[in-house]
Amino acid sequence: MKQIDSVLLVLVLLSVVYCAKLLRALHQRVSKNNSQNQESIKELKEQIWHSYRQSEALQQLFTLLKFSALIPPTRSWAASPDLLLTIADLVRTRKPRLVVELGSGISTLIVAKAGARKVISIDNSAEFAEKTREMLKAHRVRSVEVRVAPLKAHKSGVDWYDTAKLKDLKRIDMLIIDGPPGSKNPDARKPALAELLSKLSPTAVIVIDDVKRDGERQLAEAFAKALPRHTLNILNHEKGTAVISPK
């Protein structure tokens, strides 16, 4: 009888140990799921916040610039409304005589509608450049020159705009860097510093999109270092915006 009791006691103890392990494993799984859920909720909140901010910025753009025709979609590969609103504000307050833009599109229209005297927009795609011209024509904008500069091998080792198309540029009051495409090569836009730094006016403002990516962030910091009388401001926009402006 005592042996039976001992066996039963051992079985009970083993059952308790097994149940404890099960409970511990369940607790770990629940904790992991809770952590994942909290992370998902955090990401969702950030997406909602960004969407709200973009809608708010877009509404302000419509109020400020009073478009007379349809505008193309924003965000994704195109400029986001928060960047566009910043550009519009800079143009309205700085009143640049010449704005040079690397990468044409909706931002080209914004710069012109905000009051820039002259805009030269550089695009590596003839097809996309023509779409930009058609958009500008629909909005009756005439102060913009859209140039096609195909990508060519640059001495830096990346493909960049044909520099022959940029030789006449000088005294640039605002430089907007949103091209060439840089999602696949972090160094794709870096030649802008070597090619355009000497063409800037002393009070030039440089705006760089996509500085949440390492390549564009490094480019912004390089511009700021090369312009000691300027200051670098990183804006917490959807894709990250750098504004390098006189102190």
Q: What is the pLDDT of residues 179-237, one digit of tens each?
A: 998 778 999 999 999 999 999 999 999 999 999 999 999 999 999 999 999 999 999 99
Token code pair at residue 44: 């969702």
pLDDT at position 2: 47
pLDDT at position 52: 78
- Give the burial string for 176-189 (b: 16+ CB within 10 Å, else e): bbbbbebeeebbbb
Segment (H or E) for 134: helix 126-138
Question: Can the peptide bond before residue 96 be classed as cis, meaning omega within 30 degrees of 0?
Answer: no
Angle between helices 106-114 and 2-65 (to 10 degrees): 50
- The domain spans of the chain are 1-66, 67-246
- State the CATH class of domain 67-246: alpha beta
pLDDT at position 167: 94
pLDDT by position in tens, the chain (length 247): 545 445 445 444 555 555 566 667 666 766 666 656 677 777 776 777 777 788 888 888 888 888 888 888 887 778 899 999 999 999 999 999 999 999 999 999 999 999 999 999 999 999 999 999 999 999 999 889 999 999 999 999 999 999 999 999 999 999 999 999 877 899 999 999 999 999 999 999 999 999 999 999 999 999 999 999 999 999 999 999 999 999 9
- Provide DSSP, 71-118: ----STTSPPHHHHHHHHHHHHHH--SEEEEES-SHHHHHHHHHT-SE
